[in-house]
Amino acid sequence: MAKKLAITGGPSGGKTTLIEVLKKEFGHKIKIAPEAASILYKGGFPRMKNYAGYFHAQLAIVSTLRHLEDLLVESHPDSLIICDRGSLDSLAYWPDTAEHFFTNIHSNRQTELARYDWVLHLDTATEVDYDTTNAIRTESFHEALMLNEKVRTSWEGHPRRQIIGAENDFFTKMKKSTDIVAEILAQMELAKKVIQ
């Protein structure tokens, strides 16, 4: 059975760069579920900063990422699926209560936490290192910090969540993250040998 690692965190945490590093480092051993929000927004989904805009966008994002993840799990049953964000990231952008979110996605916190075997949270970079070159990113540094905290809160309760803080410089963040993924792959390989 495929395993899933959600790479999450605040804007400009290093998620996109990390995923590129992981592709080069681990190649065919991993499969990437791309970020649903980027797929939708780059494809022309309207981006409106009002209640209706956040509501419909997050429902579309959750639906898209579920299908992406499920397709990869079914197609690559022995792989580690690296998810560029996970379903609970949408809770951080939801314009209403957590209860309202779970009602609208027809789920609950425990079910969504259980979708992922591991969670790796990369905190938003410090103000000096905050990246403003991403065309999809519309948040100011202070908005990004607030979103980072909301994302952290959204994933509270996951038994295998690791947080890599902003105090780590970029290269340290990448090294720590890559080491975590290497350890996960080693555990998966060991589990396969035990089953055989």
Q: Residue 94 sits in a domain of what CATH number? A: 3.40.50.300
Nearest-angstrom CA–CA distance, 113 and 154? 10
Q: Tell me the mean pLDDT per 10 residues along the chain, length 196.
A: 94 92 96 96 94 98 98 96 98 97 98 98 85 71 92 97 88 94 95 78
pLDDT (0 to 100) of residue 191: 86
pLDDT (0 to 100) of residue 81: 98
> The domain containing residue 100 runs over which residues?
3-195
φ, ψ of residue 186 to 5 degrees: the values are -65, -40
Nearest-angstrom CA–CA distance, 121 and 50? 27
For 96, other C-beta atoms within 10 Å of its C-beta total 13
149 contacts: CB under 8 Å, gap ≥ 6:
10
Domain count along the chain: 1
Q: Where are the extended beta strands (E) located within 51-189?
A: 80-84, 118-122, 161-164
φ, ψ of residue 77 to 5 degrees: the values are -65, -15
